[in-house]
Amino acid sequence: MRKKRFPKKSEKESRDTRSKPTKPRRKPVARKKDLTAPPKNEPIRLNRFIANAGVCSRREADQLIADGSIKVNGKVVTELGTKVSRTDEVKYKGRVLKSERLAYVLLNKPKDFITTVDDPQGRRTVMDLVAKACDERIYPVGRLDRNTTGLLLLTNDGDLAKKLTHPSHKVKKIYQVSLSKALTKEDAAKIMNGVELEDGEATVDKLAILDKSKREVGLEIHIGKNRIVRRIFESLGYEVTKLDRTIFAGLTKKDLPRGKWRHLKEKEVINLKHLS
């Protein structure tokens, strides 16, 4: 019995009947919440205006508003959710509040940049690296010397900057140190017991040898004296060939290449403000 023959499909028909692979749907990318403010002429909530002026937190500002402690353009305002423009006159206890957006910029500093706002000698400064970060005038929190790399925070939040640099708060900083020669057990013990320098004793919180050569060392400290890490090792006859700050006040270099910057997330700012 002869088999029935069916006419061959044309090349076009064959292509049309093939199952086309479906492209996987892209998952929507959640936008990171940051602290960027609306344009200067756009109204903002009154509690935010008060918080940006450094009086208190937004929640506490709501209480001040409800208590009738805030005046806007000469009138007491008690309604929560009230919005004001940056040109409105807002008063608390008779004092005119100035609201400036608080900016927090984290930089992974490269070598050969000076930690200063302006250098009379015309050398490159960290401000050159963050020139496009924000419109606000920000300042470095503490300093890293010219040949030191790593994390540097810049902000216009004076209260937070003062807190992060004051010795009483013992802000944790971790450095990776490259040495000219192997660190001996005796010298490691001396460092952990405290090294006497010309401006007093330098105390270290933790020390770890990071490789077999014993030339790579991790150092955790909270003191913020000038060139403190280099001076500790120099006092014992070591030359620091590389120095990199990898952690500052809980902030890390994750996803932040050398020479790049990013704005802090709101949660990070809150964590900094709650450091004991």
- Locus of tokens 């000219």: 180
C-alpha 201/C-alpha 33 separation (Å) is 43
Amino acid identity of residue 106, one-letter, is L
- For residue 211, which of 182, 172, 191 has the smallest C-alpha distance? 182
Active site residue 145: yes
- The tokens describing 147, both together, are 């040949």
Distances (CA, A) of 105 to 37, 109, 154: 14, 12, 5
From the list 112, 145, 159, 199, the catalytic residue is 145
Query: Which secondary structure element, helix H or strand E, spans residue 158, and what is its range?
Result: helix 158-165
Q: What backbone phi and psi angles, to 5 degrees, belong to 9?
A: -75, 145
Token reading at 48: 């935010």
Given a contact cutoff of 8 angstroms between Cβ atoms, the answer to whether 240 and 234 are in contact is yes
Any bridge partners for residue 251, and if so which?
248
Catalytic residues: 145
